[in-house]
Structure 1
Amino acid sequence: MQPSGFDGVSICGGVEVPYRRQAPAGTTGDLLAQAYIAALEQSGFAPREVDGLGVASFTLAPDHAIDVAWRLGLSPRWCMDDCHGGASALNLLQHAARAIQCGDANVIVLVSGDRFEPADFRQLVDHYNLTTRTWLRPLESGGPNALFAMHTQQHMQRHGLTRADYGALCCAQREWASRNPQAVYRSPLTLDDYLDAPLIADPLGRFDCVPVVSGANAVVLARADLVKERQRAVAIRALRCGYNPDHQQGDGLQTSLGTLAPALWRDAATTPEAMDLVSVYDDYPVMVLVQLADLGFAPDGDLRALIARIASGALPVNTSGGQLSAGQAGAAGGMHGLVEAITQLRGAAGERQVANARRALVSGYGMVEYCYGMCANAVVLEATEGAPQ
């Protein structure tokens, strides 16, 4: 493998507390603790070896990362809260990896998740940020569906797409979900089912809108020389974070991924064509296509050809079923795709395992302002030698 800017750091665990449509008993903190315990068990590290903790959650308040550390019995040398929504996981990953390289910590666990009662989600939608609370809540817009319906309309017109084109993505992800025992929605989804579903905000139908669930995820990073011999580790080949430079004055059909992609692929010494699978943040199908285009997966601009590759399985995208079928557990949504990529690269994805998976691209996208997400990021991961395939 070529050296990278993240040498000396390994990812040695990635888990998901099964998502649920109905909020389980307990608190968000309980879900994060379950994910922490499961991730440590997978990584082989003991609690006493953990000296770093990162947390992303919308419903943990009034607690913070340090409260979670205290409840877990940790005395971390590195501790971080993150509030970047769907971009949180990769933001945490970048900071945690750098902390390990700098000697601030040796073993860091990153956890993310939320427990939603109906009132919790309404509170989040109405008070997502000051802009939402001040300008959108009085309109009773009902959250991001209306905003991304407008994006989808623009995207359809620009690229000559139809609802069926977006539906092909949803159906392909549902096919992957049918092989994932932890996906919340696993029943078959045909294109007719998709097109016949009730409209939520034209042209978005029921299956275009990410379903809200409760759950949590966790990832373990460690100094590479400390990784347990029996563990299958994953290396970070490149990671870049970006923030939209147009101050919400553009149309939202290009993310900051378009700006950072050249440096990402240069850092990783590889190309989009070399990726064995992709986990792209999928709150809406339109954003799957926007991010993939920004990252260079449609260099000729032919989105229909890209959709055909995804639908046929030639390009494995969101092999867990993605959030559109597995569910979006609040801030855990940004870590869901990361955990899936880690699971695939460790050869542990069971029936949905991508054969000979060695390299994966994961993207994050989050924090909707007036009309679209303010930040996006991406990481290229690679299985280390010895990972079974």
Structure 2
Amino acid sequence: MTASIIGTGQSPYTRHPHAGTDTSHVIAQAVRSALLEAGLKPGDVDGFAVSSFTLNPDHAIDLAWRMGLRLTWLMQDTNGGASAGGMLQHAVRAIEAGDAKVIVLAAGDLMDGAAFSRLVASYNRATEDHLAPLPMRGPNALFAMLTTRQMEALGLSREDYGHIAIAQRQWAADNPAAVYRKPLTMDDYLSAPVVATPLGRYDCVPPVTGADAVVLVAEPRNGTPRAKVLTVRASYNGDQQAGDGLETGLRACGSAGWEEAGIGPEEVDLACVYDDYPSMVVAQLADLGVMPAGEDASNFIKRHISTRDLPVNTSGGQLSAGQAGAAGGMHGLVEAARQLMGTAGARQIPARHAVVSGYGMVLYRYGACATMSVLEAGA
């Protein structure tokens, strides 16, 4: 592949957006920040893709016009947690085909209380017909059942999931953009209010308002820090909503992804996996092969994630930084690119390779979309 990320941007994440804030504003802010880091202007951009749940009634073309973009390639993705990987896959192909030279990928949402309530009530037809009438709205109850199933299958305890949440909060302490940075103890985690057994408060992502963006180009200027895209793979409707949720679509596309990237999961220095719940961190690490097949999951968590020997979601992930609607799918891509470009600040780690996964779009059971991207540091 011949495309690289050379700029990243993020609008401030906040639980309580100021009056007058709208989705277009927060996405545009992230785009401006990414272009500034890349040393580019809006006039340099000829490709744009966006993902958002709250951009309506506007569309990608409306937002592009508002930002002053004249384009030869345009895309709008609606696949939530898998949207960043989907947009990246299409953008890489567009660059390789010569359809665009400088592409900005962006995702974001205004996610205040009212917007979140509307989203979980009318996410899709399956939600409207079957989930919305239930006393507990949103996906928490579904993933509580999945978490229980995973605990039984892998011999995991609540403490094991606590180690994941605590480690990510430790990473978040060095991320000034994370909404939650206060240290989290095991006592805090275990004594938190129950949301849906066995899920407690710290197992569920907090909705926030914000946006993320990356700038993708074919050939960076010599010496420009970059995150080269080695592969992007995706799986949609991998189990046709008939599986038990313990495996994600990453299991179907992982082997081809590693083969195309030219490295194996054991060579990864950083994993940024979609963390709507700690159980999904475990599932994706296993499906990607980062947690080796046959490895005792509890032991892996204690030895590698809790100790931060394996950096996982070094921004704090969504569990501590927040989930800005559709930007949740872009959050890990931005963090991986920053680590590989050496712009992660106090949480910077030495990293040459990173894997990023996206997951989402709950239909009748669990996430129907999954993407994996492998990136490499370069200059």
TM-score (norm 1): 0.95
Q: Which of 190, 193, 197 pairs up with 1:202? A: 197
Question: Which aligned pairs between 1:106-121 and structure 2 lie closer than 5 A?
Answer: 106-121=101-116
Question: Which aligned pairs between 1:216-255 and structure 2 lie closer than 5 A?
Answer: 216-224=211-219, 227-229=220-222, 231-255=224-248
Indicate conservation of the 8 Å contact 1:265/1:271, yes or no.
Answer: yes
Q: Which of 318, 339, 344 pairs up with 2:313? A: 318
Q: Which runs of 5+ in 2 are unaligned?
A: none
* SS in structure 1 of the partner of residue 133 of structure 2: helix
Deviation of the 1:247 alpha carbon:
1.5
CA distances 1:149-204 after superposition (whole Å, capped 9, x unpaired): 00001001111111111001000000000111111000010111100101010000
Superposition CA RMSD, Å: 1.0
- One-letter amino acid of the structure 1 residue matched with residue 333 of structure 2: L
Q: Which of 131, 135, 145 pairs up with 1:140? A: 135
Distance (Å, rounded) in 2 between the aligned partners of 1:363 and 1:38 = 23
Indicate conservation of the 8 Å contact 2:15/2:112, yes or no.
Answer: no
- One-letter amino acid of the structure 2 residue matched with residue 330 of structure 1: G
* SS in structure 2 of the partner of residue 138 of structure 1: coil
Distance (Å, rounded) in 1 between the aligned partners of 2:357 and 2:205 = 17
Indicate conservation of the 8 Å contact 1:234/1:346, yes or no.
Answer: yes
Question: Structure 1 runs of 4+ off > 2 angstroms?
Answer: 227-231
* SS in structure 1 of the partner of residue 54 of structure 2: coil
Distance (Å, rounded) in 1 between the aligned partners of 2:74 and 2:314 = 31
Query: Is 1:303 paired with 2:297?
Result: yes
User: 1:131 — aligned with what?
Assistant: 126
User: 1:294 — aligned with what?
Assistant: 287
- One-letter amino acid of the structure 2 residue matched with residue 359 of structure 1: H
Deviates more, 1:110-119 or 1:360-369: 110-119
Q: Which of 173, 177, 196 pairs up with 1:178? A: 173
Distance (Å, rounded) in 1 between the aligned partners of 2:31 and 2:238 = 35
Distance (Å, rounded) in 2 between the aligned partners of 1:255 and 1:106 = 33
Question: Which aligned pairs between 1:156-171 and structure 2 lie closer than 5 A?
Answer: 156-171=151-166
- One-letter amino acid of the structure 2 residue matched with residue 131 of structure 1: A
User: 1:261 — aligned with what?
Assistant: 254
Indicate conservation of the 8 Å contact 1:293/1:301, yes or no.
Answer: no
- One-letter amino acid of the structure 2 residue matched with residue 253 of structure 1: L
Distance (Å, rounded) in 2 between the aligned partners of 1:381 and 1:42 = 19
CA distances 1:352-382 after superposition (whole Å, capped 9, x unpaired): 1112x11100000010111210010101100
Distance (Å, rounded) in 2 between the aligned partners of 1:159 and 1:23 = 40
CA distances 1:249-296 after superposition (whole Å, capped 9, x unpaired): 111110110111111111111111111111000000000000000011
* SS in structure 1 of the partner of residue 306 of structure 2: helix
Distance (Å, rounded) in 2 between the aligned partners of 1:363 and 1:117 = 26
CA distances 1:223-253 after superposition (whole Å, capped 9, x unpaired): 21xx244531111111101023322111111
Indicate conservation of the 8 Å contact 2:155/2:298, yes or no.
Answer: no
What is the percentage of aligned positions where both structures have the same residue?
Answer: 55
Query: Is 1:383 paired with 2:372?
Result: no
Distance (Å, rounded) in 2 between the aligned partners of 1:261 and 1:305 = 23
Q: Which runs of 5+ in 1 are unaligned?
A: 1-5
Indicate conservation of the 8 Å contact 1:43/1:228, yes or no.
Answer: no
Question: Which aligned pairs between 1:298-377 and structure 2 lie closer than 5 A?
Answer: 298=291, 299-308=293-302, 309-355=304-350, 357-377=351-371
Indicate conservation of the 8 Å contact 2:9/2:32, yes or no.
Answer: no
CA distances 1:15-74 after superposition (whole Å, capped 9, x unpaired): 211200102332100011111111111111221111111000000001110001110111
- One-letter amino acid of the structure 1 residue matched with residue 352 of structure 2: R
Distance (Å, rounded) in 1 between the aligned partners of 2:161 and 2:129 = 32
Deviation of the 1:315 alpha carbon:
0.5
- One-letter amino acid of the structure 1 residue matched with residue 231 of structure 2: A
Distance (Å, rounded) in 1 between the aligned partners of 2:258 and 2:69 = 37
Q: Which of 265, 269, 282 pairs up with 1:272? A: 265
Distance (Å, rounded) in 2 between the aligned partners of 1:231 and 1:246 = 41
- One-letter amino acid of the structure 2 residue matched with residue 317 of structure 1: V
* SS in structure 2 of the partner of residue 139 of structure 1: coil
Indicate conservation of the 8 Å contact 1:297/1:306, yes or no.
Answer: no
- One-letter amino acid of the structure 1 residue matched with residue 143 of structure 2: F
Question: Which aligned pairs between 1:51-130 and structure 2 lie closer than 5 A?
Answer: 51-130=46-125
CA distances 1:78-113 after superposition (whole Å, capped 9, x unpaired): 010000100000100010111011011111111100
* SS in structure 1 of the partner of residue 132 of structure 2: helix
Deviation of the 1:350 alpha carbon:
1.3
Distance (Å, rounded) in 2 between the aligned partners of 1:111 and 1:246 = 29
* SS in structure 1 of the partner of residue 254 of structure 2: helix
- One-letter amino acid of the structure 1 residue matched with residue 263 of structure 2: T
Distance (Å, rounded) in 2 between the aligned partners of 1:379 and 1:105 = 20
User: 1:3 — aligned with what?
Assistant: none
Number of corresponding residues: 376
